[in-house]
Amino acid sequence: MQTVESIRLLLTIALFVIGLSHLFQGKVWASFFEYLSSKRYIGVFINAFIHFAPGSLVVSFHPVYQGPFLWLTLLGWAWVIKGAVYFVFPAVGLKQMQKGTQKQRGTWAAAGIIMIAAAVILQSMRFFVTH
């Protein structure tokens, strides 16, 4: 399996599992962000690592800038930018994380449905879209 394909499989699995978690464990996600927020800037750095590390992997090993898989590279860049902003401007990250603690269960569920749908679409694309 080529590196680009491996990144696509990694994202398919991650989006699906984390999407299911958002769908069924919204209260736990809210508690998680509440906990991170309570740790202030240290919590922001933890959240930054959570986004920056996988984003860097995607950007580094999925350099696709045209065609139907472009959205994966853009997702990777979004994670890199989010992580970088949180590392450099932790007050911005803290404000955003505090919003996460206030989300209703339905908001977490909606995010989960979007991630699951993205995983299903990505899996379908892996089989039906030729390079």
Q: What is the pLDDT of residue 78?
A: 98
Sorted by sequence, the CB contacts under 8 Å of residue 92 that are 6+ apart come out as 85, 86
Task: Say how many CA atoms lie within 13 Å of 76 toward its Cβ.
Answer: 23
Q: Enter the pTM of the model.
A: 0.89
Instruction: For residue 51, give the DSSP letter.
Output: H
Tokens found for residue 28: 């736990």
- Angle, to 10 degrees, between the axis of helix 3-24 and the axis of helix 26-38? 100
pLDDT for 129 beyond 80: no
Confidence of residue 128 (pLDDT cuts 50, 70, 90): confident
Q: State the chain's mean pLDDT as an integer.
A: 93
Distance CA 130, CA 16 (A): 22
Q: What is the pLDDT of residue 102?
A: 66
- Please write the tens of the pLDDT for every residue from 26-77: 999 988 989 999 999 999 999 999 999 999 999 999 999 999 999 999 999 9
Pick the closest to residue 33 from 78, 109, 94 (CA basis).
94
Q: Which pLDDT value is given to residue 75?
A: 97
pLDDT value for 69: 92
Compute the average pLDDT of residues 78-104.
91
Q: How far apart are CA 73 and CA 78, in angstroms?
A: 9
